[in-house]
């Protein structure tokens, strides 16, 4: 496996570079901020003035389902007006450049901007805002239209948003765990790292040997866990980062193509195939 030139290296080892490099991305609300969707925490966050742990819980929904639905319906309508930004698109370019099966995108976001941008292998581990499910019979469907204040299922029970609240088990963990163990590059974009288990993925991937890269407008608390960290908006940093990686891939491929192959191009076969 070839590696990228040292000018992009800020830490241990070297960034693996080949179209079959196994790249896993973890995205959070920050990647959709430039699409006009507010993040959860911090200034202007969705939760400003509210503790998320008190709203995004099954207990809150049982206590006041109409209030929780108001919150989610407003976000569903905001999603109608939002479009993917340059950061979402850069991840599509990266996926398309890699060998099929080499790229996976784990997102904590419940918006569908990665999917709408064209990402193929997406694991929305905290659910999907466009979908609803029944609290009784388990019926599950995509509902894009405006919903009544308290939507109900054909069976008569209350519907809930198909999202993962605190205390509930995130989705796709059976698919995510092996990805973390096999990742060679683990790229973390726009997440505060406050919510587990997602916040622990970087440690798992790093412990398994992945090269770890961060993109955020703020420094990471666990900065030691990153081999490279790019401070800035995802919509600016990510396209540049991906362009750089793809350019480096092309350079490596050109070098490989121009390198004389022992015993084939020069007609001097070397027993043992040393190169």
Rule CB under 5 A: is residue 91 a binding residue for Zn ion? no
Q: In what order do the strands lie in the sheet with 211-216?
A: 122-124, 103-107, 23-27, 185-189, 211-216, 228-231
Rule CB under 6 A: is residue 216 a binding residue for ligand BJW? yes
Selection from Zn ion, ligand BJW, none that 148 binds (CB < 5 to 8 A by kind) is none
Q: What three-state secondary structure class fits 148?
A: coil
Selection from Zn ion, ligand BJW, none that 192 binds (CB < 5 to 8 A by kind) is ligand BJW
For Zn ion, give the closer residue by CB, 91 or 159. 159
Phi-psi region of 201 (alpha: psi -120 to 50; beta: other; left: phi over 0): alpha
Rule CB under 5 A: is residue 139 a binding residue for Zn ion? yes
Question: Smallest distance, Å, CB 167 to Zn ion?
Answer: 22
The distance from CA 268 to its chain's CA centroid, rounded to whole angstroms, is 49
Using CA atoms, how far apart are residues 68 and 56, in angstroms rounded to an integer? 8
Q: Draw the binding track, 93-132, toward ligand BJW (x: CB under 6 A; -: no contact).
A: ---------------x-x---------------x------
The DSSP bridge partners found for residue 123 are: 106
Question: Smallest distance, Å, CB 70 to ligand BJW?
Answer: 13
- Is 252 within 8 Å of 2 (Cβ atoms)? yes
Cβ neighbours for 107, distance < 8 A, ≥ 6 positions apart? 26, 27, 28, 31, 114, 122, 123, 124, 125, 126
Question: Smallest distance, Å, CB 201 to ligand BJW?
Answer: 11
Rule CB under 6 A: is residue 176 a binding residue for ligand BJW? no
Residues in touch with Zn ion (CB under 5 A): 134, 136-137, 139, 153, 155, 157
- Residues with a known catalytic role: 126
Residues that bind ligand BJW (CB under 6 A): 28-30, 33-34, 39-41, 45, 52-53, 56, 108, 110, 126, 163-170, 173, 190-192, 194-197, 215-218, 233-234
């Amino acid at each position: 496996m070839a590696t990228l030139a040292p000018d992009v290296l800020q830490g241990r080892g070297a960034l693996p570079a080949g179209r079959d490099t196994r790249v896993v991305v973890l995205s959070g609300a920050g990647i959709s901020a430039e699409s006009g969707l507010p993040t959860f925490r911090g200034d202007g966050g969705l939760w400003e003035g509210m503790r998320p742990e008190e709203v995004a819980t099954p207990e809150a929904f049982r206590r006041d389902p109409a209030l929780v639905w108001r919150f989610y319906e407003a976000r569903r309508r905001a999603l109608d007006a939002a479009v993917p930004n340059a950061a979402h698109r850069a991840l599509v370019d990266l996926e398309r450049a890699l060998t099929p099966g080499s790229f996976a995108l784990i997102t904590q976001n419940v918006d569908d901007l990665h999917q709408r941008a064209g990402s193929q292998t997406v694991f929305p581990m905290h659910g999907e805002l466009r979908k609803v499910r029944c609290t009784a019979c388990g019926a599950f469907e995509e509902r894009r239209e405006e919903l009544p204040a308290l939507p109900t299922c054909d069976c008569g029970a209350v519907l809930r948003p198909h999202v993962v609240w605190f205390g509930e088990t995130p989705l796709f963990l059976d698919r995510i765990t092996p990805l973390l163990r096999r990742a060679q590059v683990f790229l973390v974009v726009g997440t505060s790292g406050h919510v587990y288990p997602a916040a622990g993925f970087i440690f798992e991937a790093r412990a398994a040997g992945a090269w770890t890269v961060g993109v955020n407008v703020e420094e990471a608390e666990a900065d030691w866990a990153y081999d490279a960290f790019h401070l800035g908006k995802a919509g600016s940093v990510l396209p540049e980062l991906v362009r750089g990686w793809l350019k480096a891939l092309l350079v490596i491929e050109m070098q490989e193509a121009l390198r004389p192959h022992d015993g084939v191009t020069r007609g001097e076969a070397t027993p043992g195939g040393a190169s």
